[in-house]
């Protein structure tokens, strides 16, 4: 009986120990993730109050034109719209999600390097990289309606329902009047006070701006009012190593607001993914622990 009682008393102690070990290991894992974020994006020393780093779950994988150097991606009315880059290969496309088939396309003049696109009402705006020139098309026919100029490089563009929001390769997001295409404001994007440069393709998702950070597997989740980074999405491993050999970097975020679907792809990627974001256990455990200590 004494031995039984001893064994019984060991069970909760062992459970507690395992739980504590799990907590420590996950906390260490999360900390490592945060340090990677800092080193990759800014090279700055470790921060005191890191933001959450989300991982992902693949919901669906679809074909994507491996010759498309993706620079802009939008989902609208059941279709993907894509802007591609490289001089001589830049285009605007309407793409079937399920098959990846290009349903409609417009080729830019060879001297332009196409960048981000945004759909505003019945028009599509497309940026170019270093030509300080943008193009406005009819959304349905892709007919070129007019050109316009802006004073920075052009990288990504999206909208929040009121303003167009664009990136220029720095840590600055610029707000444009969607009708005049003139700048009306700007905000610097910072993660714990450190500027996050190389903001690339953008997508407005439920009040936040998602931004690919060029040459990383990371997407920053940004508060557009303050520029503060609220979280990171780490998409490392999304494209398998075999396909990665012939592909370029992650770039391209589209959100289907009607069905709450998030799509991502990359430059010359043969696949486009629908993903769900996953918050690692490390960020849940303190909440769980707090719940049980309070009750």
Closest CA to 94 of 108, 86, 83: 83
Coil, helix or strand for 162? coil
- Closest contact distance (angstroms) between CB of 74 and Ca ion is 5
- Closest contact distance (angstroms) between CB of 157 and Ca ion is 8
Of positions 68, 73, 95, 124, contacts Ca ion by CB under 5 A: 73
Rg (CA), the chain: 22
Whichever of 170 and 265 has its CB closer to Ca ion, that residue is 265
- Closest contact distance (angstroms) between CB of 237 and Ca ion is 22
Residue 195: is it exposed, middle or buried by C-beta count within 10 angstroms (0-12/13-18/19+)? Answer: middle
DSSP label of 239: S
How many angstroms separate the CA atoms of 198 and 203, rounded? 15
Coil, helix or strand for 23? helix
Whichever of 65 and 203 has its CB closer to Ca ion, that residue is 203
Coil, helix or strand for 75? strand
Measured from each CB, the residue nearest to Ca ion is 203
Q: Does 262 participate in binding Ca ion (rule CB under 5 A)?
A: no
Whichever of 37 and 118 has its CB closer to Ca ion, that residue is 118
Whichever of 33 and 83 has its CB closer to Ca ion, that residue is 83
Of positions 65, 203, 234, 274, contacts Ca ion by CB under 5 A: 203
Whichever of 30 and 73 has its CB closer to Ca ion, that residue is 73
- Contact residues for Ca ion, defined by CB under 5 A: 73, 203, 253
């Amino acid at each position: 009986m004494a031995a039984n009682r001893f064994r019984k008393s060991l069970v909760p102690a062992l459970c507690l120990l395992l739980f504590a070990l799990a907590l420590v290991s996950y906390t260490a894992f999360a900390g490592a993730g945060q340090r990677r974020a800092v080193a990759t994006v800014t090279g700055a020393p470790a921060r005191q109050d890191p933001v959450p780093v989300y991982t992902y779950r693949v919901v669906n994988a679809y074909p994507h034109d491996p010759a498309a150097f993706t620079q802009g991606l939008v989902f609208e009315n059941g279709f993907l719209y894509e802007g591609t880059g490289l001089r001589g290969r830049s285009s605007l496309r309407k793409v079937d999600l399920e098959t990846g088939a290009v349903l409609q396309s417009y080729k830019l003049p060879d001297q332009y390097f196409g960048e981000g696109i945004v759909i505003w009402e019945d028009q599509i705006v497309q940026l170019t990289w270093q030509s300080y020139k943008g193009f406005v098309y009819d959304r349905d026919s892709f007919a070129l309606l007019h050109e316009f100029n802006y004073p920075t490089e052009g990288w990504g563009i999206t909208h929040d329902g009121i303003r167009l929001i664009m990136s220029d390769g720095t840590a600055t997001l610029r707000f444009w009047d969607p009708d005049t295409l003139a700048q009306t404001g700007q905000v610097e994007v910072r993660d714990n006070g450190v500027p996050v440069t190389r903001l690339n393709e953008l997508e407005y998702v439920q009040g936040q701006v998602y931004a690919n950070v060029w040459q990383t597997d990371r997407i920053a989740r940004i508060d557009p009012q303050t520029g503060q980074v609220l979280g990171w999405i780490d998409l490392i491993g999304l494209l398998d190593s075999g396909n990665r050999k012939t592909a370029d970097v992650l770039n391209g975020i589209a959100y289907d607001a009607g069905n709450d679907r998030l799509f991502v792809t990359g430059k010359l990627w043969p696949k486009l993914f629908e993903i769900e974001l996953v918050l690692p256990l490390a960020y849940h455990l303190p909440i769980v622990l707090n719940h049980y200590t309070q009750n």
